[in-house]
Amino acid sequence: MISQFTPDSALNAIAAPRVGSPRTSPVRDAAFNAALAVVAAALPKGAQAAITAVGEVHTLADALWAEVRATPAFALGTGRAACGKGCGWCCHQRVGATAAEVLYVADELRKRPDAEALTARLDAWPTGRACAFLVEGACAIYEIRPLKCRGLYQMDARWCMTTYAKLDIPLFGPPPSHEYQIPPKDVFDGAVFGMALPFYRAGRDCPGVDFIPALKAVIHRPDAVQTWWRGEKVFPAETRLHDWFPPMNQPPQSTK
Ligand code: SF4
Ligand code: SF4
């Protein structure tokens, strides 16, 4: 089965007004255009250059978010996020990533000094549980984590605890608040679409996939990038997320 992701659907998702908010998003457009330019420039150089470009997209999206975060409008007008090291309730949900991003993470993970331990965690991961890389509430692959892991800005971790980790609502204090900030999501979602679109236009199969199962499928295959580049199948059909591209204009309830 082929991905439902098309250039038109991607662009429609970028342009579609959000439910309850007709505003456009300049930061989303900026991230989209920057990511698209980086990947489009790398694609003619071949498979490895294209996958390496995913890391450049991570870096530029992080930089754009840092810029947005430092603006007076955001810094003065926004409360502090509850997010931080040791708070990993959001890592109990399914994580989406593009196929190219999974290939990039696999390549980077194999180079790390702790590759053996991390791969063992991945191999032992029981389906449906918290992310294989959540270690004592922190991300063990923080620098190379997917874009979709980077855009969360929740104001009340108890909401994440009850929604993502399915724990009981606390018996004390006010009800958990779903308040969150959209700019980081705009930045990183824009980067996801901008990164994926040139692959698609170049005829490369770059669907949204379920991050951990897809990574498990390629982590022991150093040939995965070249195999994928030749158009051969490297990701099992069940790892594809047919509901992931698009829409981006639905409430972010169940998927990072
Ligand atoms: S999104 Fe929620 S669970 Fe994740 S780090 Fe932020 S507050 Fe914690
Ligand atoms: S990759 Fe890291 S940030 Fe993303 S879900 Fe896994 S532990 Fe959490």
- Residues 148-163 have pLDDT tens digits of 999 999 899 999 998 8
Kindly tell me if the per-residue pLDDT of 124 is higher than 50.
Answer: yes
- Cα–ligand 1 centroid distance for 214 (angstroms): 23
Q: What is the pLDDT of residue 60?
A: 94
Kindly tell me if the per-residue pLDDT of 21 is higher than 80.
Answer: no
Q: Are 194 and 101 in contact (CB under 8 A)?
A: no
Q: Which residues line ligand 2 (CB under 6 A)?
A: 88, 91, 95, 131, 133-134, 139, 141, 145, 149
pLDDT band with cut points at 50, 70 and 90 for residue 243:
low
Q: Are 214 and 53 in contact (CB under 8 A)?
A: no
Nearest ligand by distance to the CA of 138: 2
- Cα–ligand 2 centroid distance for 22 (angstroms): 31
- Cα–ligand 1 centroid distance for 175 (angstroms): 16
Kindly tell me if the per-residue pLDDT of 26 is higher than 90.
Answer: no
CA nearest ligand 2 atom 4, residue: 149
Angstrom distance (rounded) from CA 161 to CA 168: 8
Task: Specify the pTM.
Answer: 0.86
* Rg (the chain; Cα; Å): 18
CA nearest ligand 2 atom 5, residue: 91
Reported as type and span, the H/E element at residue 210 is strand 208-210
Q: What is the pLDDT of residue 128?
A: 77
- Cα–ligand 2 centroid distance for 90 (angstroms): 8
Kindly tell me if the per-residue pLDDT of 9 is higher than 80.
Answer: no
Q: Which of 119, 100, 90, 112 is nearest to 211 (CA)?
A: 100
Phi, psi of 180 (to 5 degrees): -150, 170
Angstrom distance (rounded) from CA 109 to CA 92: 21
Mean pLDDT rounded to a whole number for the chain: 85
- Cα–ligand 2 centroid distance for 148 (angstroms): 9
Reported as type and span, the H/E element at residue 119 is helix 115-124
Q: What is the pLDDT of residue 244?
A: 64
pLDDT band with cut points at 50, 70 and 90 for residue 176:
confident
Q: What is the pLDDT of residue 168?
A: 82
Kindly tell me if the per-residue pLDDT of 239 is higher than 90.
Answer: yes
Q: What tokens were used for 65? A: 């978010």
CA nearest ligand 2 atom 1, residue: 145
Write out pLDDT tens, residues 185-233. 999 999 998 999 899 888 888 889 999 999 999 999 999 999 999 999 9
- Mutational pocket test of ligand 1: of 83, 131, 139, 161, the residue with most ligand atoms within 8 Å of the beta carbon: 83
- Cα–ligand 2 centroid distance for 253 (angstroms): 17
Q: What is the pLDDT of residue 46?
A: 97
Q: Which of 93, 210, 96 is nearest to 161 (CA)?
A: 93
Q: What is the pLDDT of residue 3?
A: 36
Q: Which residues line ligand 1 (CB under 6 A)?
A: 82-83, 87, 89-90, 152, 154, 157, 160
Angstrom distance (rounded) from CA 229 to CA 8: 23
Q: What is the pLDDT of residue 24?
A: 58
Q: Which of 189, 94, 172 is nearest to 132 (CA)?
A: 94
Q: What is the pLDDT of residue 245?
A: 58
Q: How many CA atoms lie within 13 A of 78 on its CB side?
A: 20
Phi, psi of 62 (to 5 degrees): -60, -45
DSSP 8-class letter at 219:
T
Write out pLDDT tens, residues 80-96. 899 988 899 999 999 99
- Percentage of the chain modeled with pLDDT above 90: 55
CA nearest ligand 1 atom 6, residue: 83
Other beta carbons within 10 Å of 128: 7
Other beta carbons within 10 Å of 176: 18
- Mutational pocket test of ligand 1: of 78, 80, 89, 159, the residue with most ligand atoms within 8 Å of the beta carbon: 89
Lowest mean pLDDT among 65-74, 139-148, 230-239: 65-74
